[in-house]
Amino acid sequence: MKAFLILEDGTVFTGTSIGSTKDVISEIVFNTSMTGYLEVLTDPSYAGQAVVMTYPLIGNYGITSDMESKKAWPDGYIVRELSRIPSNFRSEGTIQDFLKEQDIPGIAGIDTRALTKILREKGTMNGMITTNENYNVDEIVPKLKEYRVGDVVTVTTCSEKEVLPGDGPKVALMDFGAKNNIARSLNNRGCEVTIYPAHTSAEEIIESHPDGIMLSNGPGDPETNVSIIKEIKKLSETDIPIFAICLGHQLMALAHGAKTYKLKYGHRGGNHPVKDLSNNRVYISSQNHGYAVDASTVDADVAKEAFVNVNDGTNEGLAYIGKNIFTVQFHPEACPGPQDSGYLFDRFIDMMNNREEK
């Protein structure tokens, strides 16, 4: 069955329908990872977006247990070619069947490199995936321009708290759309991790007497999370060590008066170089974000830049002055991606242990 991708600038790509056949309007973004497509599909940060995979062959190792949440989150999936027969001893099915089970419409057989060039040159834009051959571009484009991602943190967060037992420090993980590997990375280091819904009050977190607080990744425009930002501000006024990743990094910055802005086409992939300004070492990182903190709006008396993106100089992390708080824009838990910056979890644990000894 034919499928069509219609962009808000009027560009139309024709390919083959994969997954669900329903129509969908979404923000179209691209990911440059060569592997890890299942982790991409199950990353809650993609809620409200349709993902273009720039690597030309997707699905060659099928569907495995490497899921970052209990379901898939993108509105749509766009690939050059889907592998017809997966080959991996861990494979439990095909990506085609997975997309159908998850009710995610997609399109295969289009020139994803050409599509990516359009998104890089003109910036991220909205689009529609449809199997309706009688589509009317003039009627669809205004609808595309009206689309907004909305409150996707509320959609992706957990409904009730969950505890992962451990013998080490107790960590309160705020779930703004967290990937499983954040909790797993802490739990594997011995931490007892309690995962809290995004709208949990600061008072409830503080009263649980955690040794540390983790603010997770998540989807959408950080500035829309007004009530959450107020609670994060309260948490930051305690002496509890806080480590924040991606959306959590942005929310902490907003809580301290800084500003965020939308990147032209975002950073999504497993090969983004970031420099740790404390030692001038460069690490290859996994990233998935469309917004960034404007470093020029960060009060120098409140925080200093800790990491920068080597490619474009954008802010990749902050260290808060006089506080046990540090935040990063990239994903030290990776999945998919390199493990270069996993040491940051160890740094967080050291912060918690040092506080206990005082």
19 in a known ligand binding site:
no
Q: For residue range 193-234, what is the model confidence (pLDDT) as tens digits?
A: 999 999 999 999 999 999 999 999 999 999 999 999 999 999
**117 — phi, psi (to 5°)?**
-60, -40
Is there a contact between 191 and 168 (Cβ–Cβ < 8 Å)?
yes
**pTM of the predicted structure, to 2 decimals:** 0.96
Q: Is 158 considered catalytic here? A: no
Would you state the pLDDT for residue 314? Answer: 98
288 carries a ligand binding annotation: yes
247 labeled part of a ligand binding site:
yes
Question: Parallel, antiparallel, or unpaired: how do β-strands 212-215 and 170-175 relate?
Answer: parallel
Measure Cα distances from 291 to 48, 275, 333 in Å: 14, 19, 19
Residue 232: how many other CB atoms lie within 10 Å: 24
Q: Is 268 in contact with 258 (CB distance < 8 Å)?
A: no
51 CB neighbour count, 10 Å cutoff: 26
Task: Tell whether residue 57 is among the known ligand binding residues.
Answer: no
Is 250 annotated as belonging to a binding site?
yes
331 annotated active-site: yes
Q: Which residue has the tokens 């030309």?
A: 56
pLDDT, residue 129, reads 98
- Give the CA distances from residue 259 to residues 61, 65, 296, 331, in Å, rounded to whole numbers and listed in that order: 41, 38, 9, 21
Of 358 and 207, more confident: 207
Among candidate residues 108, 116, 103, the one with its CA nearest the CA of residue 78? 108
* C-alpha separations of 188 from 166, 169, 182, 183, 191 in Å: 9, 12, 10, 8, 7
Which one of the listed residues 8, 231, 331, 335 is annotated catalytic? Answer: 331
Of 246, 267, 272, 289, catalytic: 246
Domains annotated on the chain, with CATH? 2-148 (3.50.30.20), 153-357 (3.40.50.880)
pLDDT one-digit tens code per residue, 1-54: 999 999 999 999 999 999 999 999 999 999 999 999 999 999 999 999 999 999
Strand partners, 245: 328
Active site residue 191: no
> How far, CA to CA in Å, does 339 sit from each of 34, 264, 272, 274?
15, 27, 12, 13
Cis ω before 336 (30° cut-off from 0) = yes
Structure tokens of 239?
Answer: 């002496």
Phi then psi for residue 104, to 5 deg, are -105, 120
- pLDDT band for position 357 (50/70/90)? low
- Does position 358 have pLDDT exceeding 70, yes or no? no
What does each C-alpha distance from 74 to 46, 112, 195, 219, 264 come to in angstroms?
5, 17, 23, 11, 20
What's the mean pLDDT in 151-166? 97
How high is the pLDDT of residue 262? 98
Look at residue 356 and tell me whether its pLDDT is greater than 70. no
* pLDDT tens-digit map of 71-108: 999 999 999 999 989 999 999 999 999 999 999 999 99
What does each C-alpha distance from 308 to 195, 202, 305, 341 come to in angstroms? 29, 30, 7, 14
Q: Which of 39, 68, 231, 333 is catalytic?
A: 333
- How many residues are present in the chain? 358
Residue carrying the six token digits 């910036």? 123
Q: Count CB atoms within 10 A of the CB of residue 204.
A: 12
59 assigned ligand-binding residue: no
Considering only residues 116 and 65, tell me which one the structure prediction assigns the higher pLDDT.
116
Amino acid making up residue 68: E
